[in-house]
Amino acid sequence: MSLKSSLCQTSEWIRFLRRYGPIPRNDNMYDEVIQRALRRNKIQPIAFETEYLNELLDNFRAAEPKSVILTGIAGDGKTYYCRKIWKKLGGNPENWNRNDKVHSLELGNKQLVVIKDLSELNPEEKLTIISHVAAAITGQDPTKVYLIAANDGQLIEAWTEAKENAGVVDVQQVIEDMLVEEMHEKEGFSVKLYNLSRQSAAVIFPRILDAVLKHPGWKGCAHCEQQNLGCPIWENKLRLEGTESEHTTKERLTELLELCELNEMHLPVRQLLLLVANALLGHPDAKDKLLSCQQVPKIVEKGKASIASLYRNIFGENLSERRRESISVFKVLRKFGIGSETSNQIDNILIFGVDDPELQVHYEQLVLCDPYYGADRNYQIQQRAYLEGEYAGNRADFLNALQSQRQRLFFTLPSDQATELKLWSLTIFQYAGEYLSNVYKVLSKEHKVSQSIIFRLVRGLNRIFTGFLVNNQDQLILATSGSYSQAKISRIYEEVISVLKKRGESVSIEMDKNRRKPSLVVRLSREVKPVYFNLTLTRYEYLSRVADGVLPSSFSQECYEDVLAFKSQVLKRLACRKQLEGEDEDSEESMSIRLLDVNNEGIASPRPLEIYI
């Protein structure tokens, strides 16, 4: 009896957790729905520290609070912030639950007006509110302070519609600038703008993970007999948690999210929660593709526990392709191509490791030692059949199993073997590991990026800047075609910029202070403003591959255009420098041009041509 009741208690929690997963639901009232479910089932909320809450509360508690605009995409936590602030400032939770569109509260001698979703207002209400907000922001109405949440599209639209009023135009421009230029405040206006889409997923994800994995709801599992019979939910939980000494999976997942962030792909909190819920509970045969406690015994009995593998679930493999493509977190994570990308070495271990004495050690350590999601019975049977060429019809099954194995390896390959076994060749970004640890993390600690990396990127840039397969890497070559700066082939040598510091010239990789992301910086002289090139993961990979001479055509066009635009900027600054230095034009009788000459070693150098007129 006691066993049964404890099972039920835990299954309540699992049922609640499923709500965060990829099940069909009404997205607009997300926070409200979750709140109701919590109250009904008396479950403790999943609580974790959010980035701006304290900062926002400090603002409203200050003597001269400023109005706040919260923007972000669906699932960034706009409503959550509004609710929290309301409560912390003494608002009545019951009033909040009444679901009014506009709430207000005394705040010292001012009135705080909270609008938790601007799009809920009808057009007339919106117009009125916007002009009031404009008055508060410009200081015409010092009696009111606003807290407004809206996604950026609605926000801009609302202000554009209200343009009639002169004060509004002013404020609209300010808000647009703050949005596009990623600023919190602008002088002279009593407003702060928080774009919640700028919250770092990499920072917040470990907190979410902890909050879910340490939730008291799991307590019941201790008494559950399924725990020892191979419950996949429990297995997934343990693997995601890791141990004191070994938490590779959690680390790799966080790294992937960090890379997404660095590659300008933002994932809101709601998507991160969805990811955790799906990783733990996903199974293609379950109802809504998410396990509940009741279904576990059957799945285990049928020997289908292995396809509940969290390594697959992280990429939404438990879902139909259509469903998967409609969920941004899976779309983004699948861009890494984990599962379909591989190296000969890894595949050899997975396929031939069982028989090949040279690969045996690796096979045992990477496959056999994991009988649950690794060398489970199914895998071994399929592998044997594949190797012996039996029933060819099921090759596809084995290839699928292979894909799952690669996904598993990506999350479990021990860190000390990551270099030897080329962990990142399991993704399409072969330089991602280097980018993360030798560029991003190095910069985060305020250290310098190794010169060899900069040299390689400069070599890549030079090849694109000139259109020749050059090997120069200690100087950035600026070349044009004489008529068109964006030409594919540039034969006119304009100038070179030293990579190492030299009379104000340099090429370096630095952390952009506002965005906390790496930038490639070209300095032409002390007097001329440097040129910044946002070094995203994709661009880093692109330049590195161009430098190494092997370039898959898939992602080249976009980066190519970006690099050419960057070249134009550098050329523009070069012109500034020339102007400042007052460089002499050629004398009347003769002039010279410099053509780019590339020798057999691929080193480009200028060849001056003298012309007498």
Binding residues (CB under 8 A) for another protein: these are: 72-74, 151-156, 160, 179-180, 195, 197, 480-486, 491-492, 531-534, 557-558, 561-562, 565-566, 568-569, 571-572, 575, 585-586, 591, 593, 595, 609-613
How many beta carbons lie within 10 A of that of residue 144, not counting itself?
A: 16
CB of 404 to another protein, least distance (A): 30
The residue among 321 and 612 lying less far from another protein, judged by its C-beta, is: 612
CB of 153 to another protein, least distance (A): 2
CB of 50 to another protein, least distance (A): 19
Contacts of 76 (CB under 8 A, 6+ apart): 196, 197, 199, 268, 269, 270
The residue among 102 and 156 lying less far from another protein, judged by its C-beta, is: 156
CB of 52 to another protein, least distance (A): 17
State how far the Cα of 365 lies from the Cα of 267, in Å rounded to an integer. Answer: 34
State how far the Cα of 134 lies from the Cα of 237, in Å rounded to an integer. Answer: 49
- The position carrying tokens 């070349």 is 479
The residue among 359 and 443 lying less far from another protein, judged by its C-beta, is: 443
Q: CA distances (Å), 19 to each of 31, 36, 227, 533, in order?
A: 12, 12, 22, 42
The residue among 323 and 491 lying less far from another protein, judged by its C-beta, is: 491
The residue among 265 and 281 lying less far from another protein, judged by its C-beta, is: 265
CB of 207 to another protein, least distance (A): 23
The residue among 417 and 569 lying less far from another protein, judged by its C-beta, is: 569
CB of 390 to another protein, least distance (A): 39
The residue among 199 and 405 lying less far from another protein, judged by its C-beta, is: 199
CB of 209 to another protein, least distance (A): 25
State how far the Cα of 392 lies from the Cα of 328, in Å rounded to an integer. Answer: 36
The residue among 310 and 522 lying less far from another protein, judged by its C-beta, is: 522
- With b meaning 16 or more CB within 10 Å and e meaning fewer, what string describes 200-211? ebbebbebbbeb
CB 411 within 8 A of CB 248: yes
The residue among 54 and 160 lying less far from another protein, judged by its C-beta, is: 160
The residue among 357 and 612 lying less far from another protein, judged by its C-beta, is: 612
CB of 520 to another protein, least distance (A): 10
Q: CA distances (Å), 561 to each of 20, 461, 488, 568, in order?
A: 40, 12, 11, 11
- Strand-pair category, 590-598 with 604-612: antiparallel
Q: CA distances (Å), 328 to each of 22, 267, 280, 559, 576, in order?
A: 11, 8, 18, 23, 44
Contacts of 165 (CB under 8 A, 6+ apart): 131, 134
CA nearest neighbour of 457 among 512, 526, 518: 518
CB of 319 to another protein, least distance (A): 20
Q: Can you give the length of the chain in residues?
A: 613
What backbone torsions phi and psi does residue 475 show, to the nearest 5 degrees?
A: -140, 145
State how far the Cα of 350 lies from the Cα of 394, in Å rounded to an integer. Answer: 17
Q: What are 571's two structure tokens?
A: 């050329």
The residue among 180 and 580 lying less far from another protein, judged by its C-beta, is: 180
State how far the Cα of 302 lies from the Cα of 288, in Å rounded to an integer. Answer: 19
State how far the Cα of 238 lies from the Cα of 221, in Å rounded to an integer. Answer: 12
Q: What are 345's two structure tokens?
A: 């070495």
CB of 365 to another protein, least distance (A): 43
CB of 486 to another protein, least distance (A): 7
